[in-house]
Structure 1
Amino acid sequence: MASKLSWLSACKSSQLKALATAVGINSSGTKPILTSQLLEHLPRGYFSHEKYTDILKRPYNIVSIDMGIRNLAYCRLVKPQTKTAAESANETAIEAPKITEWTRIEISKKTATSKVPEEPKTAVKEAFDPATYSQHAYNLVTSLLKSSPTHILIERQRFRSMGGSAVQEWTLRVNMFEAMIYAVLKSFSESGQWKGSVHPVAPAKVAKFWLGEKQGVEEEGRGSKSEKTKGAKIAVVWRWLEEGDEERGFGLEGQAREMGEGYLWKRRAGKRAKVKEEGTVEIGKLDDLADCLLQGMAWIQWEKNRRLIMSRGIEALEELGT
């Protein structure tokens, strides 16, 4: 396999970085480091998994999660089964997905089964103890697994926000919840109750892929840039939703279509929106919804690009615009 990628040694550093960005891996480092990373990643890919060796012949069911507690968002990207032998033989072909679920949920709501006594007329407080969060994690995972996802993408969390030296308590809570989701998924996988795979996704790589080098990378310690990045990502999804299914590369069905209409309405109305338009759904924050969709679509596009590179070799550089 290494001989098939021997042409990488002739690439410029800028080309190697562009290839790394195109397949969603770390694009920083020296030329030898970049070459080594590409040699390790390209033959393997995203859809490779010992339990899904025939994945090219099967439909995909991808759940993309944007982590949070008050604002967790996820979307389900369903990939239809390839219909013709010619399409099956095409290594670079991945059919456009259908988005069947796209929503935000509030994880930190107090559970109805809580036995903590409350004083009359006292505001309900959020529970942040591990026992409560483990129940939340279990409830979320069992709900997601009902539709038998083949892949679950989870936004990778960091311990420091905005470049600060301190680790914020809220960040620790989200990290704890993230770890619990992984643990529950691992338990289902090891017990044979679920046969899919879990993949962490770095949000900075998603932003860089869709927004480019100058605008996209959210740098810690730059709050204004972070807000600009959020706005830019919201705008990307807004442009997608205004296009037809073929132009944007995915379709919307059922609940996701209603969410898309609500997203468009709120994006147009902006901060002036006091009440929702008749026929639209309440969707809350747009950035969380944008993030989970951008993450899922990036992951699929990274795999398309990986297959293109493996199939076309050095000719892929031109097709990728490097």
Structure 2
Amino acid sequence: MGLKNFALTKLALNKRLPFNTVPMITEWDKYDVQLWANVGTDDTFEPQKYVEPCYRLVNEILLPRGEPLPDALLIERQRSRSGGSPVVNEWVFRVNMLEAMVHSMVYSRICEERSKIEVISASPQRMGYYWKPLDDEVKGKVAKKFRVGYVEQLLADFVQSSDPKISVDPHFALQKFSGDYLSQVMNSSQSHSRGTFGAEKGDDLVDALLHALAWIQWQANKTVMKLEFISGVEDAMKKVDELYQSHTEQMGNAWMAQQNKAKKGKGKPTVATTKHSLKYDPNATKAVEQELDSIEK
């Protein structure tokens, strides 16, 4: 989240089978908030200057009036320092202020509509560590490039594979060709034109999606672990090891595939496959179904 790069992703899941259905991306966009809200780019950063843009972001974009509220809302936690500086950069201050205002206005909507939305302050560090290989080389800008390539392949699998792990709403109109699906997403923006509002970089869009996908996987894994603990601690610990090994292996394979493709000089590095990288456990699905049935009774 930021003033120039406010990225968001909205995902839809089957509520009865949340961990055994492919998430569909219904919205995936990015804004230069100052231009979008016509705030201006002068040096003033009084709180009242950002109240209206923040109000519009919450009530027009994040939680549009007249539409059903989501079950969960993840808001990326913003840094308090920049580049290791011991002081708070002015731009960081502005973004922190926007983050606090968003949380406040979201809470106000929740109280107003008496909703049970789960609001999560999502850590970018946790997300970054989750979507990376164990290789020590993968950090900083390299890790960011890896995530971009990984999401590019998720999109490629959706367009080209019969067993994709994400789905994309038809309004994005992704066309089948070699690579650059993320660019197609940016060009298909319904909210603004890429040229006018400067959505040139795709890494913010990538991180917005991966925050959501990581959270879904964590929820699925928590459900699986609850079932395993019924059998006993030993079974639960074994399952923890299996989940860890499976995920780290997939990230490692993705990293090697990107490296191999880059060495061959075949254009933008992407991963070879994401077939097993997003898993939806049938046992977790069954548990959720049973819980829903008991509530309905």
TM-score when normalising by structure 1:
0.60
Give 2:209's aligned residue: 293
Query: What secondary structure sits across from 2:86 in the alignment?
Result: coil
Question: What is the number of residues matched between the two proteins?
Answer: 222
Query: What secondary structure sits across from 1:211 in the alignment?
Result: coil
What aligned pairs does 1:115-134 form with structure 2 within 5 A after superposition?
125=42, 128-134=45-51
CA distance in 2, matches of 1:69, 1:178: 10
CA distance in 2, matches of 1:157, 1:260: 34
CA 200–300 in structure 1, closer or farther in 2 if over 3 Å, else same: same
CA distance in 2, matches of 1:263, 1:205: 31
CA distance in 2, matches of 1:69, 1:98: 27
Give 2:2's aligned residue: 68
Aligned partner of 1:154: which letter?
Answer: I
1:320 matches 2:236: no
Tell me if the contact between 1:110 and 1:124 (Cα under 8 Å) persists in the aligned partners: no
CA distance in 2, matches of 1:261, 1:311: 41
Q: 1:165 aligns with which of 77, 86, 107?
A: 86
What are the Cα deviations for residues 210-263 of structure 1, in whole angstroms up to 9, with x where unaligned? 10344598xxxxxxx4222221111111111111376442100034x3479899
Give 2:74's aligned residue: 153
Tell me if the contact between 1:210 and 1:216 (Cα under 8 Å) persists in the aligned partners: no
CA distance in 2, matches of 1:266, 1:201: 26
CA 131–284 in structure 1, closer or farther in 2 if over 3 Å, else same: same
Structure 2 runs not aligned, ≥5 long: 229-235, 246-297
Structure 1 runs not aligned, ≥5 long: 1-66, 115-122, 218-224, 270-275
Q: 1:241 aligns with which of 155, 176, 192?
A: 155
CA distance in 2, matches of 1:96, 1:242: 15
Q: 1:141 aligns with which of 58, 67, 72?
A: 58
Query: What secondary structure sits across from 1:191 in the alignment?
Result: helix
CA distance in 2, matches of 1:284, 1:253: 21
CA distance in 1, matches of 2:77, 2:178: 25
1:265 matches 2:160: no
What are the Cα deviations for residues 51-109 of structure 1, in whole angstroms up to 9, with x where unaligned? xxxxxxxxxxxxxxxx1111110010011232xxxx6xxxx944221110000011112
What are the Cα deviations for residues 293-320 of structure 1, in whole angstroms up to 9, with x where unaligned? 0100000011111112222223313431
Give 2:145's aligned residue: 231
CA distance in 2, matches of 1:304, 1:81: 13
CA 202–172 in structure 1, closer or farther in 2 if over 3 Å, else same: same
Q: 1:284 aligns with which of 200, 205, 219?
A: 200
CA distance in 2, matches of 1:302, 1:201: 12
Tell me if the contact between 1:74 and 1:103 (Cα under 8 Å) persists in the aligned partners: yes
Give 1:177's aligned residue: 98
Q: 1:207 aligns with which of 128, 143, 147?
A: 128
Offset at 1:166? 2.0
CA 263–129 in structure 1, closer or farther in 2 if over 3 Å, else same: farther
1:305 matches 2:231: no
CA distance in 1, matches of 2:59, 2:164: 31
Tell me if the contact between 1:215 and 1:229 (Cα under 8 Å) persists in the aligned partners: no
CA distance in 2, matches of 1:287, 1:307: 30
CA distance in 1, matches of 2:22, 2:240: 23
Query: What secondary structure sits across from 1:177 in the alignment?
Result: helix
CA distance in 2, matches of 1:251, 1:287: 19
Offset at 1:197? 2.2
